[in-house]
Chain A
C-alpha cells in the first residue's frame, strides 16, 4: 500500500473511514514508525483543537430562525454597528475641525471627541443583510445549522483578513421602534416579512465600494434568497476614533 493520503489520515482521525479502509491504514501504520508518529502528532493536535468548538459553540448563529431569542454573537460590536447606522450624516467628523457652534450637533460631537482625532479618518462600509430566507418556515434544523455555519465561515474569513470591524445578527422579530417624541410605533407583520427587513449587519474596514461589493457578493445571504445593501460610513467609524484615543 502506498503512503495514505492526508485526506485518509484526516478521515481516520475524524472517525469517518469505513472498516476496510481503516484496516488497511492501520496495517500500514503498524509497519511504518514515521507515519505512526505523524498520526500521533496530528491526533494530539486534534485533541487540542476539538474543544475550541465547544468553547465557542454559542457564537455563530446567523440568521436566527427562532423569534425572540436574544442574539449572543458579537452583541457589543453589533450595538456599536447599530449606533453607527443611526448617526446622521450631519454628525460627520469632517465638521469637527471647523469650530462649530456649541449648540449644533457638530458642536455636541466635538465636545465628546478627543482633540487628537486624525484629520483624515479611516473610511468604512457597512453591509446590511435584508430579508428572511424565503424557505425559512420549511427548512430543517440541520439545514439551518449548516447555513449558519456558512455565514460564520464567511465572517471568520473576513475577520482573519482583518477586514471585519464589527458584526451581528438580529433577531427576527421587529423589536421596538420609537417615534420622534419617544412614542412607540407599531411594526406590522408585513414589515417583518418584507424583503427589506434588516436581519444582520457587518461593519467593514475597506476603503472602496468595489472592495465592499466584492465582499458582499460572497455573502451566503445572497444564496438563500436575501439581499445585501452596501452603505458607506461617512468618513469613518466612530469606534475607530474612540479606540485610538
Chain B
C-alpha cells in the first residue's frame, strides 16, 4: 500500500513492495559504482548484492533518502576496495592465467591471512618506492596523515586543484604498479 510517504519510510515500516523497490534501486546504484571501479560486471553484481544485504540489515537506522544514498555509495566503494586488495593478493600468489578460477572468498587460516596481509603491505611499500618523491609525499599526506586536500594545499603552498591532479596521477601510477595485469612485468 502506498500512503504517499517516502519510499524509505515505508520500507522501514516493513511494506514488502516498498522494500523491494528500494532494494532494487539501490542495487542498481551500487552496481553502477562497482562496475565503474572494477570494470568487471560479475564482480560488480556480487558487490551490489553484498551491499543490499548490508543495507537491509541497516535499514531501520536511516531517516532519509540522501543519507541512505550516501551510505550505499560508500559501502559499495569500500567493498570494491576490499575486492581489489584481494584480487591483488591472489594475483601475487597465483599464475595470472589461473587467477580468475580462484573462488572469490578464499578460506585462509588466520596465520595465512596475516602472512597474506604482510605481503600485501610489502607490495604497496615496493610500489610506493617506485613513485617519484613528490608522488610519495603527496600520498603520505593524504593517506597516512589523512589530511583533506585543502590542508595539503596549505601545507605545500600549492593550489588545491593542482593537489587533486597530483593525487589522482599518483594513484593512477600506484594502480599501474599494483594492478595484477602489470604484476607479471614486475615479477
Residues of A at the B interface (CB closer than 8 Å) are: 5-7, 9-10, 12-13, 15, 17, 19, 22, 26, 29-30, 36-53, 55-56, 60, 149-150, 152-154, 156-157, 160
Q: Is B2 an interface residue (CB 8 A)?
A: no
**Closest CB-CB distance, B167 to chain A, in whole Å?**
6
With A6-B168, A22-B73 as given contacts, are A43 and B175 in contact (CB-CB < 8 Å)?
Answer: yes
What are 12 A-to-B residue pairs whose CB atoms are below 8 Å? Answer: A10-B164, A10-B168, A19-B66, A22-B33, A29-B36, A41-B175, A43-B37, A47-B80, A48-B84, A48-B175, A49-B142, A150-B147
B window 25-42: CB within 8 A of A: 32-33, 36-39
Residues in B neighbouring A53, C-beta threshold 8 A: 143-144, 146
Q: Are B77 and A56 in contact (CB under 8 A)?
A: no
Q: Mark B147-175, 1 if CB is under 8 A from A, else 0.
A: 10101100110001100110111111111
Q: Are B144 and A156 in contact (CB under 8 A)?
A: yes
Q: Is B139 an interface residue (CB 8 A)?
A: yes
Which B residue's beta carbon lies closest to that of A44? B175
Residues of B at the A interface (CB closer than 8 Å) are: 32-33, 36-39, 66, 69-70, 73-74, 77, 80-82, 84-85, 88, 120-121, 123-124, 127, 133, 136-137, 139-147, 149, 151-152, 155-156, 160-161, 164-165, 167-176, 178-179
Residues in B neighbouring A56, C-beta threshold 8 A: 144
Known: A7-B164, A40-B175, A41-B175. 16 other contacts (CB 8 A): A15-B70, A19-B66, A19-B69, A37-B39, A38-B172, A44-B84, A50-B143, A51-B121, A52-B124, A52-B140, A53-B144, A60-B145, A153-B147, A153-B155, A156-B137, A160-B136
Q: Are B174 and A48 in contact (CB under 8 A)?
A: yes
Q: Are B147 and A43 in contact (CB under 8 A)?
A: no
Residues in A neighbouring B80, C-beta threshold 8 A: 43, 47
Q: Are B178 and A45 in contact (CB under 8 A)?
A: yes
A15 to B75, CA, bound (A): 9
A230 to B135, CA, bound (A): 31
Which B residue's beta carbon lies closest to that of A22? B73
A89 to B135, CA, bound (A): 41
**Closest CB-CB distance, B29 to chain A, in whole Å?**
8
Residues in B neighbouring A6, C-beta threshold 8 A: 164-165, 167-169
**Closest CB-CB distance, B59 to chain A, in whole Å?**
18
Which A residue's beta carbon lies closest to that of B142? A49
Q: Are A49 and B174 in contact (CB under 8 A)?
A: yes
**Closest CB-CB distance, B171 to chain A, in whole Å?**
3
**Closest CB-CB distance, A40 to chain B, in whole Å?**
5
**Closest CB-CB distance, B150 to chain A, in whole Å?**
11
Residues in B neighbouring A157, C-beta threshold 8 A: 137, 141, 155-156
With A149-B145, A153-B145 as given contacts, are A45 and B171 in contact (CB-CB < 8 Å)?
Answer: yes
Cβ-closest 4 pairs across A and B: A45-B174, A45-B171, A45-B175, A44-B175
Residues in B neighbouring A12, C-beta threshold 8 A: 36
